[in-house]
Structure 1
Amino acid sequence: MIERLREIESSALTTFTEDLKKELLALVSDKVSHLESSLAVAELTVVLHYLMNTPADVLIWDVGHQGYVHKALTGRLNELQTQRHKNGISGFLKRSESPYDFFGAGHASTSISVLAGVCLADESTGLIRKRVAVIGDGSMTGGQSFEALNHLATLDTDALVILNDNNGSIDPTIGRLHSDGNYKGYFQSLGWDYTYENKGNDIP
């Protein structure tokens, strides 16, 4: 499916994404937990795979519950029916399952740390590629995310962090960062360039 995605014109991305969501819902809506989280980033997922040369480029998902559209795009649409069943595919991303699953996410707030590690590794080998981490607002309140943002800001490297601020997580999100919602000030205080997109999951 990802090969077909990369062959279409950008003007057809919206239709492609809507068709994919309908297909996914018809196939697994009663079988997959956390499906809403994936559908909420369907457009973002499609555009990232369209613009990036995955799996050569690095796409990291925090936790992994946003990854079902990603799995469908990367050849596992029908297998999603077996998710969390014996001999079925994983409910999260799994490196042994697909080369597109760069990191076997399962715990919150880890994606930016992985991104930092990839940047350092690429710097040591001279490897040039796109590197992106997608993290939700719930995971952004975790201490590991802060440490990684703080560390990455000291590196002269090309890295992109996409904050999916959907104001939701499995448990209520707590803390001043969440209640204030001043992500721009937070990122900029750590030396990051920050761009806000009000409808970030829409395809222009």
Structure 2
Amino acid sequence: MRTLRPRHAAQLGRVTAAIVVAASALLLAGCAGSPDPVASVTPHIRSTTTKTPAATASSSPTATPTPVTLSCDQVLTSDQLGKLVPKLTADSGFTAEKGSNAATAVADAGVACGYRNGTSGNIVAVSIAQPTATDLTSLKNTAIRDSNVVPTYGVPPKVMGYFAADSTSGVAQAFTGAYWIVAESKDFHEPGDASLVMADVIGNLQ
């Protein structure tokens, strides 16, 4: 085996060291390459869009009857009652029978009054109401269908009068403006029997 001389060994050591230094420099250069990329930040832009509130459907108000504020002394005055033939007197204990025209008038914020016939003792029920437009039209249609036209209760078309009778009683009706007027009694057998009462009641509404 060949043994290196000291001179040659020293040269070989220097070469080896130079190679190591060069390799280290290259390694450091590789590690110190291009810097890490900086993440770009996109600014957040707040939306300026304003939400429009959803439209709500408006509901129409419910129609209601117009109250009749007359007292029974105003529906027919004591002076008018005294001049009727036969004479009538106010019945303070009168109440509208269930299902009657008078009860319907009261339910429509109207007034119902009773007047007693001094001769027969029977009651004349008089009622006044101002129903809703829909109900008033329905009442008119019923009167046209079930009753006879009576032109003597007022001047048509300002006042439209009707009369109907059965075996128990007669019913006189009149429509003027928004008013529905009814006079009903066992003493009413024909339209003329209710004429004076209807004329006075309608006159008190003018």
Which structure is richer in relative contact order (CA contacts within 8 A, separation 6 or more)? 1
User: Which TM-score bucket, shorter chain as reference?
Assistant: under 0.3
Q: Bigger radius of gyration, 1 or 2?
A: 2
Higher relative helix content = 1
Structure (1 or 2) with the greater strand fraction? 2
TM-score by length of 1: 0.25
